[in-house]
Amino acid sequence: MSLWVQALALAIPATTPLLLACMGAIISERSGVLNLGLEGVMSIGALAAIVAAGVTGNPWVAFGAGIVAGVLFMGIHAVFCITFKSDQVITGVMVTLLGVSISTYFGRPWTGEQVASFSDTTIPIIGEYLLLIPSVGPILFNNPPTDYIAVLLVPITWYFLFRTNIGLEITAVGNDPETADTMSIRPSRIRYLSVLLAGAYAGAAGAAVTLSFTGVWTAEVIQGRGWIAVALVIVARWDPLKAFVGAYFFGILYAAQFQAQSAAFADAMPLVDLFGGLYSVIFHPVVLGAYPFIFTIIALVVFTYQSERRLEPNAITEPYRREAQ
């Protein structure tokens, strides 16, 4: 397998956590609840998955534990924002700080521990034949099962939001909860459902990091993916299909960072004899690690100046107080 094929193959599991977290945040924010707690919830999900994998030896049980942990921890955000009407920005940052701190403290005994994780697999029946496709086969059709789950959830989430009654109710509550309430839609109930679904997605994203990508737990295992997912939701204009494209772009950047640790990566670039020194700087692992955040800032700046094309929910960050109406 060539170096470039290896890099692209690595980009898919690197993308999965971003994609899962982003889709969950889209559901939450379409209901009107801003979700800045993804980094913390992903950290909790990642640790829960590692602990469950170490205890049970079953990666599927560990993946489920990450989802449950994500739902429970995101419940903190739901209670404060929906029941107590607290500021959604402050609460989201608090959830992130709390989640990262708790996971760092309780994850110390598990640092560097090898646990049962997902191995690469193919699609049943036709997978072996798909692998024979030159270059593309090893990239697309030989990955951990979490990658297939994430890709499958993209059209499912899109259909859920735009083609089902409950998805349309989520959008209605996010745009105008007062009017939705008069139509016998319970804004608080819809928002609780949406935020807890976001917790399930974020917990699955954290579990995917440790079970399918790194294979071990470290204190900084999430590495800012939660914050990138928050920005990606805005850039994708709260659309799962657009988020799919954006997530894979960032996944390629993450994969390039890992591949750049090999000197052969820069040597594989065109005109290496002429630009070898420049390539050594551009593709240095430390420099590549900053690219996702640099591109995130650039994308947000561009989006800010395209205010007429914004499609954010009208009532996002606004608590709904029925008694005041």
User: Distance between CA 161 and CA 164 in Å, rounded?
Assistant: 6
The whole-number pLDDT of residue 324 equals 47
The whole-number pLDDT of residue 104 equals 95
The whole-number pLDDT of residue 260 equals 64
- Tens-place pLDDT, residues 236-281: 989 999 999 999 888 888 777 776 665 455 555 555 555 556 766 7
Task: Tell me the C-alpha to C-alpha distance, in Å, between residue 227 and each of 105, 121, 126, 156, 259.
Answer: 21, 30, 37, 24, 23
The DSSP symbol for 135 reads T
Find the angle CA(204)-CA(210)-CA(214) to the nearest 5 degrees.
140
Instruction: Report the topology of domain 3-117+128-314.
Output: ABC transporter involved in vitamin B12 uptake, BtuC (1.10.3470)
Compute the average pLDDT of residues 121-137: 81
**Do 291 and 297 meet the contact criterion of CB atoms below 8 Å apart?**
no
The two three-digit tokens of residue 284, written as one number: 């240095």
Compute the average pLDDT of residues 13-18: 92
User: For the whole model, what pTM was predicted?
Assistant: 0.90
Higher local confidence (pLDDT), 141 or 24? 24
Poorest-pLDDT segment among 10-14, 96-100, 110-114, 134-138? 134-138
Query: Residue 103: pLDDT band by 50, 70, 90 thresholds?
Result: very high
Compute the average pLDDT of residues 115-139: 83
Q: Name which of 248, 238, 240, 53 is nearest 153 in CA terms.
A: 240
Query: Residue 201: pLDDT band by 50, 70, 90 thresholds?
Result: very high
- Tens-place pLDDT, residues 38-63: 999 999 999 999 999 999 999 999 99
Compute the average pLDDT of residues 93-107: 96
Poorest-pLDDT segment among 9-13, 24-28, 80-84, 99-103? 9-13
User: Distance between CA 325 and CA 310 in Å, rounded?
Assistant: 28
- Tens-place pLDDT, residues 269-321: 555 555 556 766 776 767 777 877 788 788 777 776 665 555 789 999 999 98
User: Distance between CA 253 and CA 262 in Å, rounded?
Assistant: 15
**Do 89 and 97 meet the contact criterion of CB atoms below 8 Å apart?**
no
CA-based end-to-end distance of the chain: 63
**Do 66 and 302 meet the contact criterion of CB atoms below 8 Å apart?**
no
Compute the average pLDDT of residues 101-108: 95
**Do 5 and 133 meet the contact criterion of CB atoms below 8 Å apart?**
no
**Domain boundaries of the chain, sorted by first residue:** 3-117+128-314
**Do 229 and 22 meet the contact criterion of CB atoms below 8 Å apart?**
yes
Please check the confidence at residue 120 and state whether its pLDDT lies above 80.
yes
